[in-house]
Copies of this chain bind each other. A is one copy, B any other.
Amino acid sequence: MDRLIEKIIQKQNPTCVGLDTRFEYIPPETAEAFGERGDSMESAAKAIFEYNRLILDAVCDIVPAVKIQVAYYEMYGVHGMKAFYDTARYAEKKGLYVIADIKRNDIGATAEAYAAAYLGQTALNGGSGLAFPADSVTVNGYLGSDGIKPFADKCFANGKTAFILVKTSNASSGELQDMMLESGKRVYEQMADMVQQWGRGHIGKYGYSSLGAVVGATYPEQGAGLRERIKSVFFLIPGYGAQGGSADGAAGCFDRSGLGGVVNASRSILCAYKNPAYAGQTPAQAARSEAQSMQAALHEAICRKAGISKIGEGAGA
């Protein structure tokens, strides 16, 4: 997790931009300028990659990380997966920490295939190949430790990270996750404890392990409780902005040095050009403005809560 944390400190920005890029999000005149009508899977996927590039160029010097939601690429089939690959590659070249939001999960042998695909190399006859480039993935832990171990092993061996779903940002997340166990823990608290346990022995210099947790900004109380509960687990925090999460709510997920999480926003940045506050700006300018506004709001809320003036103040060994 250290590489991500260092980028966050360096840019004083605990946020990431989510590239949940649907073709419909691209302004028609922008798609036209790319020469893409979006009337075929190939054309839509090409336009999406071009739009991602434009957004990445606009924000890469101010944001530390990007989260690419693979569902929005899978929906464009093989062409979409190529756009996913190209986007991850481009973000990597721009120096961003690349989180592949894949939420994969399976039994051990199959989880190994996924881990190789996103966090490692695929064995080939006489060599190996790269399926999809990423620094980090999201994983669902419903199958228990043997579905996590292949991801964890790749993280530990290759300096990568995985975020395991603990308390998700959606309205119905509580249906299972909030259920009370006989032990007195809720299901998401049990999952949180397992995530902390799985990462034990792999703690980096800021006190966080390679295995993080997904904790929705839409549940500030649970987020703050989890921050206290699993101190060595770094959070990926979706649900800010369009989904309803606030900066003050998210700030509870951070520690006394202003570290401990990275907050994601997708639609509010990709579609910032629709925001009246940015009237007259191009999509790229509006995305940058919104990313700056998000950075400022979170920086202020986190530092105020921690009583510090800089993110990372007093952190590290």
Contact = CB atoms under 8 A, between A and B. Distances in A.
A187 B142 CA distance: 10
A175 interface: yes
A168 to B, nearest CB: 5
A113 B72 contact: yes
A158 to B, nearest CB: 15
Interface string A97-129: 000000111111011011011000011111101
B71 A117 contact: yes
Interface of A: 20, 22-24, 37-41, 43-44, 69, 71-72, 74-78, 80-82, 85, 103-108, 110-111, 113-114, 116-117, 122-127, 129-132, 140-147, 165, 168-177, 179-183, 187, 190-191, 194, 238
Contacts of A111: 71
Given A75-B114, A113-B74, A143 B124 contact: no
A207 to B, nearest CB: 26
Contacts of A113: 22, 69, 71-72, 74-75
A156 to B, nearest CB: 18
B131 A176 contact: no
